[in-house]
Chains A and B, each alone.
Chain A
């Protein structure tokens, strides 16, 4: 079973997502970046787009985010974004 890590998406207005995930794909200016558990500590610029992640139950989650910065550290992955929301699958 894939290793889990904590993932949190914060905007100035609310916590958009918080939970345990097994993988996250971030939209960045240089393409999509995949993050798994135990990734090296990293600060990464994120651009407006769709964040895809796999939850602990194996379900795919999609989160629409604005410009921001993601930080991978010992306590997990945190994405600070100007705004965002959980995406409705019908929108895609």
Chain B
């Protein structure tokens, strides 16, 4: 009986865990859909912005914009680490952290980190990550959050605190696959095509337009990367929670089988005891007569 109670208690515990993992999976799926929609929505803007920039920058030699000019000597690099907001998403955060450590170790330049995401605040100092600043980023990053981060990174670059800004994040390949990677944010790299001067009238002038377009492009690039990172995080959590829910199902099936065995054993023992008792009574009665 004690064994039966123990198994029943365990089944209840596993059922509760299944309920939690199932709910987390559903929450992650809803957040994933939101970030995917936001990512798709910014793509029209990004495409148009890139086309216009390429046309405005067609004769780049003439244009002197600090955001486009690589420094002659790059001595200090800022890594922007886009971690998740929470754990329970498989190896998403750990893999990215290892990648960032390796990246900083292999870079001979002085480096420091700007961390976006709430995960692992206690882990980072021990992992050899020199955190300059932590930035809170919501589960579905808005353009305003991206704008604030972009302004801060631009300030770091323009004031000379960083000669280069690199974004370190999980590249989203599919719901099941994310790949740790890094991409240079500043100085900006642009694709160039054809000459635009004959086609467009520039109001007020080309340099002011370039400045405005670069600001829009920088904000949008940061926004797109934040959304991509969050999409990966929600995908990883959804996958991890699906696996956890499947595991609880398996465990429940095993526990129910164990419970039935235990119950059967208990019934068999009880019947044997009754039969044994009846037999003893019968023998006792026969001896008396």
Q: Is the CB of A45 within 8 A of B208?
A: yes
Complex interface: chain B residues within 8 A of A15 (CB):
41, 44
Stretch at the interface among B82-90, B170-178, B212-220: B212-220
Contact A14-B212, Cβ < 8 Å, known A42-B201, A42-B203, A82-B219: no
Complex interface: chain B residues within 8 A of A30 (CB):
203-204
Whether B209 is near chain A, meaning CB under 8 Å from some CB there, is: yes
Complex interface: chain A residues within 8 A of B48 (CB):
10, 71, 78, 80
Stretch at the interface among B4-12, B118-126, B138-146, B230-238: B138-146
Contact A69-B52, Cβ < 8 Å, known A10-B45, A12-B219, A29-B204: yes
Q: Contact string, B193-235, partner A, CB cutoff 8 A, digits 1/0?
A: 0000001111110001100110110011001000000000000
Complex interface: chain B residues within 8 A of A12 (CB):
42, 45-46, 143, 146, 216, 219-220, 223
Whether A4 is near chain B, meaning CB under 8 Å from some CB there, is: no
Q: Is the CB of A41 within 8 A of B199?
A: yes
Q: Is the CB of A43 within 8 A of B202?
A: yes
Distance (Å) between the CB of A9 and the closest chain B CB?
10
Q: Is the CB of B216 within 8 A of A42?
A: no
Q: Which of B112-160 contact A (CB under 8 A)?
A: 142-144, 146-147
Q: Is the CB of A33 within 8 A of B203?
A: yes
What size tier do the contact residues of chain A reach?
20 to 34
Q: Which residue of A lies closest to B44 (CB)?
A: A10
Q: Point out residues on B near A: beta carbons under 8 Å.
A: 38, 41-42, 44-46, 48-49, 52, 56, 142-144, 146-147, 199-204, 208-209, 212-213, 215-216, 219-220, 223
The 6 closest A-B pairs by CB, nearest first: A44-B203, A12-B143, A42-B201, A10-B45, A12-B220, A13-B143
Task: Give me 28 A-to-B residue pairs in the complex whose CB atoms sit less than 8 angstroms apart, sorted by A's number.
Answer: A10-B45, A10-B48, A11-B45, A11-B143, A12-B143, A12-B216, A12-B219, A12-B220, A13-B41, A15-B41, A28-B203, A33-B203, A40-B201, A42-B202, A42-B203, A43-B52, A43-B203, A43-B209, A44-B209, A45-B203, A45-B208, A45-B209, A45-B212, A68-B216, A69-B212, A71-B48, A80-B48, A80-B52
